[in-house]
């Protein structure tokens, strides 16, 4: 074929036609035959005949064209207007280059085109999106009619230049063009896209004045404009005042209700449509199904609509079927969704995507079986030769993320590159989530940096991944980089960054981000306010968290759960339980996180009977099955109360007897109550279940030391060394101004080391002279003995508090964060510091907050 092309010196226009003939574009057949009659070039026609002989066709085009070849003729004649019109109409749906080739041929032929041909040429440029050429042609036209103007209005609208489009419409009125219904429809479409209700109402007035208000075509356009501009009452008035309605009118009304999430109005309009005798179509059924799936419609309603589908014969329709299986999947009825999927005879990519997305629902119990189903559907798509879309890959990756099938996700990543879809922001976010959940944050960051399109969704996914992997400083660094690049974060980005501040317990940084959220208008979002509560509570400022909660306009179950958990962590058990009662009074259904906060409050408050009552209520009244965290709270509740045997029996009956978390909670209680015998037995069980966890060895070591059994304590330490188990070093940090200062035991790396140790020694000597209460003095005797024996190895929280007292004003509370549980010596010391220095000291450890005021702690020594 290449030899033929080289031998035949065709013009670009001739080559274009030959290429289209080879593709057997049916819309070009008549135009080409006409061209063959007019273009009397034997070389050109011979080339077409040779070209056509290379493919099979039900019609012998080559014979038809060959018969048109005049012998030994080299004349050249232009096409007529009809031929050019046919070529332009076909080229408008193919490509701009071919359209311009036809235009060039038209100019070369020196044919004077009439208005009809010029309108077709203008329409070709508008449909191909070349509005510069279209405007030049329009301005050069000696005569224009309403079709010319409408083409220009529609062309600007199609490429998104709405202001230019409406400007042309205004010019039409200025030049007294006889505006028709298509002009008004285009203007209404522009208003709908711009959400410009004011201009839309003006166009509506012109329609009424022009006498077009009774046209059903414009009725439908008006309803669409009003609904997209958020004026649902206006759409309903247009519908009610219309004398003529068709199925599109009803569909427009139903779509308007669906867009606003009005499920009851959608159902009512659907019933009225049926009673009015309007034939149900796939669009109406699909809209109602969408309303049911997205806005809380009942399962019974969905089944009723399914019955309507079967009655009208649309149960195998691709559009309605995809909406139906999406409804069933979102309602958790996967079996019904699969049945609908199997009934669709020729499912397309949309149907497969809906089914794959159904298997990837986050509220399902994801396991290997569900993941296999999603991947099986994906393989079936590829086997049928379907081209996976961006939504396909994002849904499959979501299923892999939820089921933690990370290796499969990496294979899907390879296919993403194969189909050249790595630039999509939603796929990019899914891949970042995949690597983040796989604890491979470096791979996620590498993919993020290589993404050519880093939109706010991708940035948020990366920041969220850093937070999930406890790389909070990196999350804050990415957020600063996001702002430096001039990108605008959304409410989800803000919530992720505030979560990082909460985990770092850096209130100063959190306050700055809160100020940014307030200025940007994000503070009104419930998701941001919820994280703000969490941030303040984790930073030790329960009063600010409570103030945020009271100022919220809309409080959901997350808001209430956050406040209950915050009060529980700060030792305010009574306040936490009062909040739960208020939550029940307001008919807000609690979830498993709410009850975790309630049980934690009971545990920290020593409320055994109340804890068991709420534990039973969770199962019986709300149908929430307790998980391992709920059971750990109950074990801790019984253990703190000294009921060690009951706690051990509870573990055996809980169904989580093989989980080391429960046994470790019991081991901690054994140490508190100095029950070395039970503690040794429990420690053996914990170490058997989780031999690599250092916390179990440390608890057992300290328990033996407390009991005076030094040999067993040393044996426990030697066992740790044999098994290569390393104790996590104690770390405390305090935020002062814009800086965070961290300390380890006996730390001397701080620039103010001499001042810190001098202040600490001064504070210790001051509380040594406290003799107001004999019990306090006796408590301090052991601390002072340890201090005299090893002054250098001061615990990290003592150093942090000393720095806080040195640098912070007296009115500011001292908030210290610690990665390990505070020891008894430091707990007693902090009580004495708060009294002697007359300062409020807040220490957060992994278990709870300790607020020291006037020589006492909020935990009431029950910790």
Q: Which pLDDT tens digit goes with each residue over 256-277? A: 776 666 766 766 776 777 677 6
Domain tally, the chain: 2
Determine, yes or no, domain membership for 576.
Answer: no
Q: Is the pLDDT of residue 581 over 70?
A: yes
Any bridge partners for residue 816, and if so which? Answer: 734, 843
Task: Give the model's pLDDT for residue 31.
Answer: 53
Determine, yes or no, domain membership for 708.
Answer: no
Using one digit for the tens of pLDDT, what is the confidence trace for 120-151? 888 888 888 788 888 888 888 888 888 888 88
- Per-residue confidence at 72, pLDDT binned at 50, 70, 90? very low
Task: Give the model's pLDDT for residue 289.
Answer: 67
Q: How many CB atoms lie within 10 A of CB 208?
A: 11
Which tops the pLDDT comparison, 328 or 121?
A: 121
Q: How many CB atoms lie within 10 A of CB 810?
A: 8
Q: Is the pLDDT of residue 592 over 60?
A: yes
Q: Is the pLDDT of residue 167 over 60?
A: yes
Average pLDDT over residues 162-170: 84
Residue 98 to residue 574: CA distance in whole angstroms:
78
- Per-residue confidence at 68, pLDDT binned at 50, 70, 90? very low
Of 77, 102, 119, the position where a domain reaches its end is 77
Determine, yes or no, domain membership for 67.
Answer: yes
Determine, yes or no, domain membership for 760.
Answer: yes
Determine, yes or no, domain membership for 747.
Answer: yes
Residue 388 to residue 383: CA distance in whole angstroms:
11
Determine, yes or no, domain membership for 837.
Answer: yes
Which tops the pLDDT comparison, 338 or 305?
A: 338
Cα end-to-end distance, the chain, whole Å: 87
Of 46, 77, 108, the position where a domain reaches its end is 77
What region, left, alpha or beta, does residue 752 occupy, with left being phi > 0 and alpha being psi -120 to 50 degrees?
alpha
Using one digit for the tens of pLDDT, what is the confidence trace for 683-709? 888 888 888 778 778 877 877 777 777
Residue 69 to residue 54: CA distance in whole angstroms:
19
Residue 46 to residue 67: CA distance in whole angstroms:
10
Using one digit for the tens of pLDDT, what is the confidence trace for 74-93? 334 556 677 777 777 766 66
Determine, yes or no, domain membership for 35.
Answer: yes
Which tops the pLDDT comparison, 750 or 103?
A: 750
Any bridge partners for residue 735, and if so which? Answer: 740
Average pLDDT over residues 489-514: 83
- Per-residue confidence at 357, pLDDT binned at 50, 70, 90? confident
Which tops the pLDDT comparison, 753 or 447?
A: 753
Residue 44's domain comprises: 2-77
Average pLDDT over residues 290-305: 61
Task: Give the model's pLDDT for residue 793.
Answer: 44
Which tops the pLDDT comparison, 403 or 850?
A: 850
Q: Is the pLDDT of residue 49 over 50?
A: no
Q: Is the pLDDT of residue 837 over 80?
A: yes
C-alpha dist (Å) from residue 191 to 170, 331, 486, 838: 13, 36, 30, 66
Average pLDDT over residues 838-852: 87
Maximum average pLDDT range among 4-8, 157-161, 250-254: 157-161
Burial of 811 (0-12, 13-18, 19+ CB in 10 A): exposed
Task: Give the model's pLDDT for residue 256.
Answer: 74
Phi, psi of 259 (to 5 degrees): -60, -35
Of 77, 105, 138, the position where a domain reaches its end is 77
Task: Give the model's pLDDT for residue 745.
Answer: 85
**225-229, 364-368, 392-396, 850-854: least confidently modelled range:** 364-368
Task: Give the model's pLDDT for residue 599.
Answer: 93
Residue 746 to residue 657: CA distance in whole angstroms:
39
Residue 296 to residue 313: CA distance in whole angstroms:
26
Determine, yes or no, domain membership for 414.
Answer: no
CB 316 within 8 A of CB 344: yes
């Amino acid at each position: 074929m290449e030899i033929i092309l080289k031998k035949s010196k065709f013009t670009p226009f001739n080559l274009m036609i030959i290429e289209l003939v080879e593709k057997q574009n049916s819309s070009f057949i008549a135009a080409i035959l006409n061209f063959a009659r007019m273009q009397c070039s034997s070389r050109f026609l011979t080339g077409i005949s040779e070209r056509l002989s290379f493919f099979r066709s039900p019609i012998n085009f080559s014979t038809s064209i060959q018969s048109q070849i005049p012998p030994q003729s080299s004349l050249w004649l232009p096409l007529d207007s009809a031929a050019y019109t046919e070529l332009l109409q076909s080229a408008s749906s193919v490509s701009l280059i071919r359209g311009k080739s036809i235009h060039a041929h038209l100019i070369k032929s020196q044919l004077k085109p009439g208005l009809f041909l010029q309108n077709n040429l203008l329409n070709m440029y508008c449909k191909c999106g070349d509005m510069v050429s279209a405007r030049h042609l329009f301005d050069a036209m000696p005569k224009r009619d309403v079709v010319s103007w409408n083409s220009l209005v529609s062309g600007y609208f199609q490429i998104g230049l709405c202001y230019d489009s409406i400007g042309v419409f205004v010019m039409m009125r200025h030049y007294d063009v006889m505006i028709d219904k298509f002009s008004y429809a285009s203007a209404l479409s522009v208003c709908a896209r711009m959400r410009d209700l004011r201009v839309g109402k003006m166009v509506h007035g012109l329609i009424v004045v022009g006498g077009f208000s009774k046209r059903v075509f414009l009725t439908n356009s008006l309803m669409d404009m009003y609904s997209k501009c958020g004026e649902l009452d206006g759409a309903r008035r247009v519908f009610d005042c219309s004398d003529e309605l068709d199925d599109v009118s009803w569909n427009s009304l139903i779509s308007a209700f669906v867009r606003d999430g009005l499920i009851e109005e959608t159902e009512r309009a659907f019933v009225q449509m049926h009673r009015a005798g309007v034939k149900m179509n796939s669009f109406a059924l699909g809209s109602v199904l969408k309303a049911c799936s997205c806005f809380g419609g009942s399962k019974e309603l969905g089944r009723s609509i399914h019955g309507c589908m079967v009655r009208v014969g649309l149960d195998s329709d691709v559009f309605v079927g995809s909406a139906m299986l999406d409804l069933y999947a979102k309602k958790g009825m996967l079996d019904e969704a699969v049945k609908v999927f199997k009934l669709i005879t020729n499912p397309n990519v949309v149907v497969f995507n809906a089914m794959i997305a159904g298997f990837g629902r986050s509220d399902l119990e994801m396991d290997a079986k569900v993941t296999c189903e999603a991947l099986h559907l994906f393989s079936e798509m590829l086997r049928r030769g379907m081209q996976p879309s961006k939504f396909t890959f994002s849904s499959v990756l979501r299923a892999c993320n939820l089921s933690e099938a990370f290796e499969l996700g990496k294979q899907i990543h390879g296919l993403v590159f194969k189909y050249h879809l790595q630039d999509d922001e939603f796929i990019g976010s899914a891949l970042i989530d995949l690597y983040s959940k796989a604890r491979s944050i470096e791979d996620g960051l590498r993919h993020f940096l290589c993404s050519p399109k880093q939109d706010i969704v991708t940035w948020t996914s990366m920041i969220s991944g850093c937070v999930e992997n406890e790389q909070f400083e990196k999350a804050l660094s990415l957020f600063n980089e996001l702002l430096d690049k001039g990108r605008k974060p959304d409410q989800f980005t803000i919530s992720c960054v505030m979560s990082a501040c909460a985990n770092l317990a850096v209130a100063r940084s959190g306050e700055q981000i809160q100020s940014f959220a307030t200025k940007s208008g994000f503070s009104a979002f419930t998701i941001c306010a919820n994280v703000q509560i969490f941030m303040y509570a984790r930073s030790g400022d329960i009063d600010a968290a409570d103030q945020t909660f009271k100022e919220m306009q809309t409080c959901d179950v997350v808001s209430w759960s956050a406040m209950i958990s915050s009060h529980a962590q700060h030792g305010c058990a009574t306040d936490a339980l009062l909040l739960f009662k208020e939550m029940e009074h307001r008919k807000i259904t609690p979830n498993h996180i709410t009850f975790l906060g309630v049980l934690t409050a009971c545990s920290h408050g020593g409320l055994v009977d109340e804890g068991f009552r709420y534990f039973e209520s969770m199962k019986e009244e709300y149908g929430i099955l307790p998980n391992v965290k709920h059971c750990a709270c109950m074990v801790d509740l019984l253990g703190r109360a000294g009921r060690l045997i009951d706690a051990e029996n509870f573990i055996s009956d809980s169904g989580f007897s093989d989980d080391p978390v429960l046994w470790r909670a019991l081991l901690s209680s054994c140490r508190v109550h100095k029950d070395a015998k039970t503690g040794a037995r429990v420690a053996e069980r914990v170490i058997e279940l989780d031999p690599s966890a250092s916390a179990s060895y440390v608890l057992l070591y300290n328990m033996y030391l407390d009991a005076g059994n030094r040999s067993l304590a040393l044996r426990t330490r030697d066992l740790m060394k044999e098994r290569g188990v390393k104790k996590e070093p104690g770390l405390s940090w305090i935020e002062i101004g814009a800086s965070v200062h961290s300390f380890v035991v006996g730390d001397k790396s701080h620039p103010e080391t001499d001042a810190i140790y001098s202040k600490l020694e001064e504070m210790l000597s001051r509380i040594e002279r406290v003799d107001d209460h004999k019990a306090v003095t006796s408590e301090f005797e052991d601390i002072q003995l340890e201090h005299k024996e090893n002054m250098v190895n001061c615990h990290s929280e003592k150093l942090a508090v000393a720095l806080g007292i040195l640098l912070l004003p007296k009115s500011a509370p001292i908030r210290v964060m610690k990665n390990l549980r505070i020891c008894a010596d430091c707990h007693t010391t902090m009580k004495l510091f708060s009294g002697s220095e007359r300062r409020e000291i807040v220490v957060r450890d992994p278990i709870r907050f300790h607020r020291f005021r006037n020589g006492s702690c909020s935990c009431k020594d029950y910790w």
